[in-house]
Structure formats: C-alpha cells, structure tokens
Amino acid sequence: MAAETIRNGLAAGAVAAVVSGAPSTVHALLTGRDPLEATLAAGSILLPDEARRGRLLLAAVPVHIGVSLGWGVVLSRALPERRTVTLGALAGLAIAALDLGTVGRRLPRIRSLPLLPQLADHVAFGVSVAADLRRRRRSRCGGLWL
C-alpha cells in the first residue's frame, strides 16, 4: 500500500471520527436518551464488564480512534476515484453490518443502542471519509474533477 494512501486514510479517518457521531447524538438529545450512550458502548468493547462512566469514556477514546483510523485506511485503499461519496455511504453501511452485526451483537451496551441512529453514524462516517479522500485526491491532481 502506498504511503500516500495510508496518510490519506488516516487523515480522513480522523476527520470522520470527529463528525460521524452526530446522527446518534442528535437522536439521543431529541429523544431524551443519554447523548454519551454510544460512547459508553464503545468503551465497553475494551472494558466489557465495566460499569463506571468515567472508565468507559476513557476506554472509548482509543477504541473509537483506532477503529476510525483503521477503517479510514481501508476505505482509502478501496474507494475508487469516481463516485467516491456514494460508494462511501454504501461502505459505511457495510462497516455497520460488520461492526454492529459481528462485534456489537456480543456486547450488551452496543446491542441495546437504537439501530437506525447507529446506521446513520456509519453512513456519516463513510460519507465523511469519502468526501475527505475526494478533496485530497483533487488537490493532488491539481483540482481535476475525479
């Protein structure tokens, strides 16, 4: 894998890590749920038997960053230069199937999260990574539309 692909994926994954939780956070606020519920669930990946909020929040940081950067690199390698954002949204759904269907179903905190907001977060992640990759690729090619 080329160094540029890895750099782009890490950068795009970092951006998406920050913005992709917006759908579930907004949903939680609108429905009176805990807006940190998904973050606590992410922390339970590292500390499945932990109940203390502070420890779960701290554990969520490396989990979320690691997963986001890893998927960012995968998408940087996998997404084509055309129709990147549309395919990024679809990739987000595929990642959701893996994250929520494989890992999530084994962890009660993740399993208990409302599904649609989590799917929306994953789509937002894929779109964010794809949009950032498209921008980086355009700047590399002197602004050509790819």
Q: How confident is the model at residue 146 (pLDDT cuts 50, 70, 90)?
A: very low
pLDDT of residue 40: 96
The structure's pTM equals 0.91
DSSP state of 106: G
Segment 74-133, tens digit of pLDDT: 999 999 988 999 999 999 999 999 999 998 889 999 999 999 999 999 999 999 999 999
Looking at the domain assignment, is residue 134 inside a domain? Answer: yes
DSSP state of 105: G
Number of domains in the chain: 1
Contact 27, 44 (CB under 8 A): no
CB atoms within 10 A of CB 41: 22
Looking at the domain assignment, is residue 26 inside a domain? Answer: yes
Q: Which of 136, 140, 123, 138 is nearest to 87 (CA)?
A: 123
In which domain, by residue range, is 22 found?
A: 3-140
pLDDT of residue 144: 46
DSSP state of 100: I
Q: Which of 63, 72, 66, 114 is nearest to 92 (CA)?
A: 72
Looking at the domain assignment, is residue 145 inside a domain? Answer: no
Looking at the domain assignment, is residue 92 inside a domain? Answer: yes
> CA quadruple 21, 70, 103, 98: dihedral positive or negative?
positive
What is the residue type of 23?
P
